[in-house]
Protein backbone atom coordinates (compact mmCIF):
# COMPACT_ATOMS: atom_id res chain seq x y z
CA UNK A 1 0.00 0.00 0.00
CA UNK A 2 1.34 3.44 -0.92
CA UNK A 3 1.04 5.35 2.35
CA UNK A 4 2.54 8.51 0.85
CA UNK A 5 -0.19 8.79 -1.78
CA UNK A 6 -3.05 8.17 0.63
CA UNK A 7 -1.81 9.91 3.75
CA UNK A 8 -4.15 12.76 4.69
CA UNK A 9 -1.14 14.90 5.58
CA UNK A 10 0.44 14.66 2.12
CA UNK A 11 0.56 17.88 0.04
CA UNK A 12 -1.85 16.46 -2.54
CA UNK A 13 -4.39 15.51 0.11
CA UNK A 14 -4.31 18.90 1.83
CA UNK A 15 -4.15 21.10 -1.25
CA UNK A 16 -7.55 20.11 -2.64
CA UNK A 17 -9.58 21.05 0.48
CA UNK A 18 -7.71 24.36 0.71
CA UNK A 19 -8.51 25.12 -2.91
CA UNK A 20 -12.17 24.19 -2.42
CA UNK A 21 -12.35 26.44 0.65
CA UNK A 22 -10.91 29.35 -1.33
CA UNK A 23 -13.40 28.78 -4.14
CA UNK A 24 -16.26 28.78 -1.64
CA UNK A 25 -14.99 32.10 -0.25
CA UNK A 26 -14.84 33.57 -3.76
CA UNK A 27 -18.36 32.40 -4.64
CA UNK A 28 -19.75 33.82 -1.41
CA UNK A 29 -18.03 37.16 -1.98
CA UNK A 30 -19.31 37.40 -5.55
CA UNK A 31 -22.85 36.53 -4.49
CA UNK A 32 -22.72 39.13 -1.75
CA UNK A 33 -21.58 41.85 -4.16
CA UNK A 34 -24.07 40.86 -6.86
CA UNK A 35 -26.89 41.25 -4.33
CA UNK A 36 -25.88 44.87 -3.73
CA UNK A 37 -27.20 47.00 -6.62
CA UNK A 38 -25.68 50.08 -5.00
CA UNK A 39 -22.29 48.51 -5.71
CA UNK A 40 -22.84 46.56 -8.93
CA UNK A 41 -24.59 49.22 -11.02
CA UNK A 42 -22.14 52.10 -10.40
CA UNK A 43 -19.09 49.83 -10.52
CA UNK A 44 -19.96 48.31 -13.89
CA UNK A 45 -22.07 50.94 -15.62
CA UNK A 46 -20.37 54.22 -14.70
CA UNK A 47 -17.10 53.53 -16.57
CA UNK A 48 -19.00 52.37 -19.65
CA UNK A 49 -21.51 55.24 -19.59
CA UNK A 50 -18.79 57.85 -19.01
CA UNK A 51 -16.80 56.40 -21.88
CA UNK A 52 -19.88 56.45 -24.11
CA UNK A 53 -20.51 60.08 -23.22
CA UNK A 54 -17.00 61.51 -23.37
CA UNK A 55 -15.27 59.03 -25.65
CA UNK A 56 -18.02 58.37 -28.20
CA UNK A 57 -20.75 61.03 -28.14
CA UNK A 58 -18.35 63.92 -27.51
CA UNK A 59 -15.71 62.36 -29.79
CA UNK A 60 -13.12 62.21 -27.04
CA UNK A 61 -12.91 65.99 -26.63
CA UNK A 62 -9.74 65.94 -28.72
CA UNK A 63 -8.14 63.01 -26.89
CA UNK A 64 -7.07 59.88 -28.83
CA UNK A 65 -9.77 57.16 -28.74
CA UNK A 66 -7.41 54.52 -27.32
CA UNK A 67 -6.30 56.94 -24.59
CA UNK A 68 -9.82 57.33 -23.24
CA UNK A 69 -10.50 53.60 -23.49
CA UNK A 70 -7.42 52.83 -21.39
CA UNK A 71 -8.20 55.62 -18.93
CA UNK A 72 -11.76 54.55 -18.28
CA UNK A 73 -10.63 50.94 -17.89
CA UNK A 74 -8.30 52.00 -15.09
CA UNK A 75 -11.04 54.21 -13.66
CA UNK A 76 -13.41 51.25 -13.52
CA UNK A 77 -10.80 48.95 -12.02
CA UNK A 78 -9.96 51.36 -9.22
CA UNK A 79 -13.60 52.10 -8.43
CA UNK A 80 -14.65 48.46 -8.28
CA UNK A 81 -11.69 47.66 -6.03
CA UNK A 82 -11.90 50.56 -3.59
CA UNK A 83 -15.65 50.31 -3.08
CA UNK A 84 -15.71 46.53 -3.03
CA UNK A 85 -12.80 46.02 -0.64
CA UNK A 86 -12.64 49.32 1.25
CA UNK A 87 -16.33 49.51 2.07
CA UNK A 88 -16.68 45.72 2.34
CA UNK A 89 -13.90 45.32 4.90
CA UNK A 90 -15.17 48.32 6.88
CA UNK A 91 -18.67 46.83 7.08
CA UNK A 92 -17.46 43.37 8.04
CA UNK A 93 -15.10 44.75 10.67
CA UNK A 94 -17.85 46.95 12.11
CA UNK A 95 -20.26 44.00 12.28
CA UNK A 96 -17.69 41.77 13.97
CA UNK A 97 -17.49 39.34 11.05
CA UNK A 98 -13.71 39.56 10.78
CA UNK A 99 -13.34 38.68 14.45
CA UNK A 100 -15.67 35.74 13.90
CA UNK A 101 -13.61 34.56 10.94
CA UNK A 102 -10.50 34.37 13.12
CA UNK A 103 -12.34 31.98 15.44
CA UNK A 104 -13.36 29.67 12.59
CA UNK A 105 -11.16 26.82 11.30
CA UNK A 106 -10.77 28.46 7.90
CA UNK A 107 -7.67 29.29 5.91
CA UNK A 108 -6.02 32.49 7.13
CA UNK A 109 -6.34 35.23 4.54
CA UNK A 110 -8.90 33.33 2.49
CA UNK A 111 -11.46 36.09 2.95
CA UNK A 112 -9.02 38.70 1.65
CA UNK A 113 -8.05 36.57 -1.34
CA UNK A 114 -11.76 36.18 -2.13
CA UNK A 115 -12.25 39.95 -2.12
CA UNK A 116 -9.28 40.46 -4.44
CA UNK A 117 -10.49 37.78 -6.87
CA UNK A 118 -14.00 39.27 -6.81
CA UNK A 119 -12.59 42.72 -7.61
CA UNK A 120 -10.62 41.18 -10.48
CA UNK A 121 -13.82 39.59 -11.77
CA UNK A 122 -15.51 42.99 -11.88
CA UNK A 123 -12.43 44.54 -13.49
CA UNK A 124 -12.62 41.81 -16.14
CA UNK A 125 -16.28 42.53 -16.89
CA UNK A 126 -15.65 46.28 -17.07
CA UNK A 127 -12.64 45.83 -19.35
CA UNK A 128 -14.53 43.54 -21.71
CA UNK A 129 -17.53 45.88 -21.92
CA UNK A 130 -15.26 48.83 -22.65
CA UNK A 131 -13.41 46.81 -25.28
CA UNK A 132 -16.68 46.01 -27.06
CA UNK A 133 -17.85 49.63 -26.96
CA UNK A 134 -14.44 51.00 -27.91
CA UNK A 135 -13.94 48.68 -30.86
CA UNK A 136 -17.48 49.04 -32.24
CA UNK A 137 -18.40 52.65 -31.45
CA UNK A 138 -15.26 54.41 -30.28
CA UNK A 139 -13.01 53.81 -33.27
CA UNK A 140 -10.38 51.99 -31.20
CA UNK A 141 -8.21 49.53 -33.11
CA UNK A 142 -5.57 47.53 -31.24
CA UNK A 143 -3.67 44.35 -32.09
CA UNK A 144 -4.68 41.25 -30.17
CA UNK A 145 -1.63 41.63 -27.94
CA UNK A 146 -2.69 45.18 -27.10
CA UNK A 147 -6.14 44.08 -25.93
CA UNK A 148 -4.61 41.30 -23.85
CA UNK A 149 -1.99 43.56 -22.24
CA UNK A 150 -4.63 46.18 -21.45
CA UNK A 151 -6.73 43.52 -19.75
CA UNK A 152 -3.71 42.24 -17.79
CA UNK A 153 -2.86 45.78 -16.67
CA UNK A 154 -6.39 46.26 -15.32
CA UNK A 155 -6.50 42.88 -13.58
CA UNK A 156 -3.12 43.30 -11.90
CA UNK A 157 -4.01 46.91 -11.17
CA UNK A 158 -6.52 45.59 -8.66
CA UNK A 159 -3.70 44.58 -6.29
CA UNK A 160 -2.31 47.99 -5.20
CA UNK A 161 -5.79 49.44 -4.78
CA UNK A 162 -6.91 46.37 -2.87
CA UNK A 163 -4.17 47.30 -0.39
CA UNK A 164 -5.45 50.87 -0.20
CA UNK A 165 -9.02 49.64 0.23
CA UNK A 166 -7.89 47.26 2.97
CA UNK A 167 -6.24 50.15 4.81
CA UNK A 168 -9.37 52.30 4.55
CA UNK A 169 -11.54 49.44 5.75
CA UNK A 170 -9.26 48.86 8.72
CA UNK A 171 -9.45 52.48 9.84
CA UNK A 172 -13.09 53.57 9.52
CA UNK A 173 -16.60 52.17 9.76
CA UNK A 174 -18.91 51.27 6.90
CA UNK A 175 -20.66 54.61 6.41
CA UNK A 176 -17.44 56.56 6.83
CA UNK A 177 -15.67 54.27 4.35
CA UNK A 178 -18.14 55.23 1.61
CA UNK A 179 -17.42 58.91 2.24
CA UNK A 180 -13.65 58.40 2.43
CA UNK A 181 -13.54 56.39 -0.79
CA UNK A 182 -15.65 58.97 -2.63
CA UNK A 183 -13.53 61.88 -1.40
CA UNK A 184 -10.34 60.08 -2.42
CA UNK A 185 -11.44 58.25 -5.56
CA UNK A 186 -13.01 60.92 -7.76
CA UNK A 187 -10.38 63.67 -7.31
CA UNK A 188 -7.59 61.10 -7.67
CA UNK A 189 -8.77 59.69 -11.00
CA UNK A 190 -9.43 63.18 -12.38
CA UNK A 191 -6.06 64.57 -11.29
CA UNK A 192 -4.33 61.44 -12.59
CA UNK A 193 -5.45 62.20 -16.13
CA UNK A 194 -7.72 59.20 -16.54
CA UNK A 195 -10.70 61.19 -17.80
CA UNK A 196 -8.83 63.58 -20.06
CA UNK A 197 -5.17 64.27 -20.85
CA UNK A 198 -3.36 66.30 -18.21
CA UNK A 199 -2.17 68.59 -21.01
CA UNK A 200 -5.70 70.03 -20.99
CA UNK A 201 -5.27 71.10 -17.34
CA UNK A 202 -2.97 73.73 -15.82
CA UNK A 203 0.68 72.61 -15.69
CA UNK A 204 0.59 72.41 -11.89
CA UNK A 205 -1.69 69.37 -12.04
CA UNK A 206 0.66 67.53 -14.38
CA UNK A 207 3.53 68.09 -11.94
CA UNK A 208 1.42 66.88 -9.03
CA UNK A 209 0.08 63.79 -10.83
CA UNK A 210 2.94 61.36 -9.94
CA UNK A 211 1.94 61.46 -6.26
CA UNK A 212 -1.26 59.58 -7.12
CA UNK A 213 -1.15 55.78 -7.44
CA UNK A 214 -3.87 56.03 -10.10
CA UNK A 215 -1.50 58.06 -12.30
CA UNK A 216 1.07 55.26 -12.29
CA UNK A 217 -1.49 52.59 -13.14
CA UNK A 218 -2.84 54.89 -15.82
CA UNK A 219 0.63 55.32 -17.30
CA UNK A 220 1.02 51.55 -17.51
CA UNK A 221 -2.27 51.27 -19.40
CA UNK A 222 -1.44 54.28 -21.59
CA UNK A 223 1.93 52.71 -22.40
CA UNK A 224 0.08 49.70 -23.84
CA UNK A 225 -1.85 51.93 -26.26
CA UNK A 226 1.11 54.21 -26.99
CA UNK A 227 -0.10 57.35 -25.20
CA UNK A 228 1.91 57.43 -21.96
CA UNK A 229 3.97 60.44 -20.91
CA UNK A 230 7.24 58.50 -20.86
CA UNK A 231 9.14 56.89 -18.02
CA UNK A 232 10.28 53.34 -17.45
CA UNK A 233 7.63 50.71 -16.82
CA UNK A 234 9.45 49.37 -13.77
CA UNK A 235 9.31 52.79 -12.10
CA UNK A 236 5.53 52.85 -12.36
CA UNK A 237 5.32 49.28 -11.07
CA UNK A 238 7.61 50.14 -8.15
CA UNK A 239 5.56 53.25 -7.37
CA UNK A 240 2.51 50.99 -7.02
CA UNK A 241 4.13 48.10 -5.14
CA UNK A 242 5.90 50.08 -2.41
CA UNK A 243 2.84 51.93 -1.06
CA UNK A 244 0.78 48.75 -1.52
CA UNK A 245 3.17 46.85 0.73
CA UNK A 246 3.06 49.63 3.33
CA UNK A 247 -0.74 49.85 3.22
CA UNK A 248 -1.10 46.08 3.57
CA UNK A 249 1.32 45.92 6.48
CA UNK A 250 -0.43 48.58 8.54
CA UNK A 251 -3.92 47.34 7.62
CA UNK A 252 -3.19 43.75 8.66
CA UNK A 253 -1.60 44.91 11.90
CA UNK A 254 -4.67 46.93 12.74
CA UNK A 255 -7.08 44.15 11.77
CA UNK A 256 -5.19 41.63 13.92
CA UNK A 257 -5.81 43.60 17.12
Along the 257 residues of the chain, how does pLDDT read in single tens digits? 454 444 455 555 556 677 787 888 899 999 999 999 999 999 999 999 999 998 898 876 778 889 999 999 999 999 999 999 999 999 999 998 888 877 666 666 788 999 999 999 999 999 999 999 999 999 999 999 999 999 999 999 999 999 999 999 999 998 999 999 999 999 999 999 999 889 888 999 999 999 999 999 999 999 999 999 888 999 999 999 999 999 999 999 998 87
Radius of gyration in angstroms for the set of CA atoms belonging to the chain, rounded to a whole number? 20
Residue 4 lies in a domain: no
Residue 141 lies in a domain: yes
Give the number of other Cβ atoms within 10 Å of residue 57's Cβ.
10
C-alpha atoms less than 13 angstroms from C-alpha of 187 in its C-beta half-sphere: 10
Give the number of other Cβ atoms within 10 Å of residue 253's Cβ.
10
What is this structure's pTM?
A: 0.90
Residue 91 lies in a domain: yes
Residue 244 lies in a domain: yes
Residue 58 pLDDT: 83
Residue 151 pLDDT: 98
Residue 39 lies in a domain: yes
For residues 164 and 86, give the distance between their C-alpha atoms in angstroms, rounded to a whole number. Answer: 7
Residue 155 lies in a domain: yes
Closest listed residue to residue 157, CA positions, set 211, 118, 195, 214? 214
Domains in the chain: how many in total? 1
For residues 17 and 209, give the distance between their C-alpha atoms in angstroms, rounded to a whole number. Answer: 45
Q: Is 133 in contact with 52 (CB distance < 8 Å)? A: yes
Residue 14 pLDDT: 57
Residue 3 lies in a domain: no
For residues 81 and 185, give the distance between their C-alpha atoms in angstroms, rounded to a whole number. Answer: 11
Residue 167 lies in a domain: yes
For residues 171 and 254, give the distance between their C-alpha atoms in angstroms, rounded to a whole number. Answer: 8
Long-range contacts formed by 53-57: CB under 8 A, 24+ apart: 54/195, 54/196, 55/134, 55/138, 56/133, 56/137, 56/138
Give the residue numbers spanning the domain of 92: 10-255
Residue 99 pLDDT: 81
Amino acid sequence: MNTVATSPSSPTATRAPMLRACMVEVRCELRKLLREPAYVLPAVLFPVLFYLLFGVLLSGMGAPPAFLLAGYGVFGTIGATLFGIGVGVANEREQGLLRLRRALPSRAGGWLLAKVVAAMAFALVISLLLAVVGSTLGGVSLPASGWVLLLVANLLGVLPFAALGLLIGSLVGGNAAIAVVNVLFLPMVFLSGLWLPLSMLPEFFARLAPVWPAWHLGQIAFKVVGHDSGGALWLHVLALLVPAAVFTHFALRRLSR
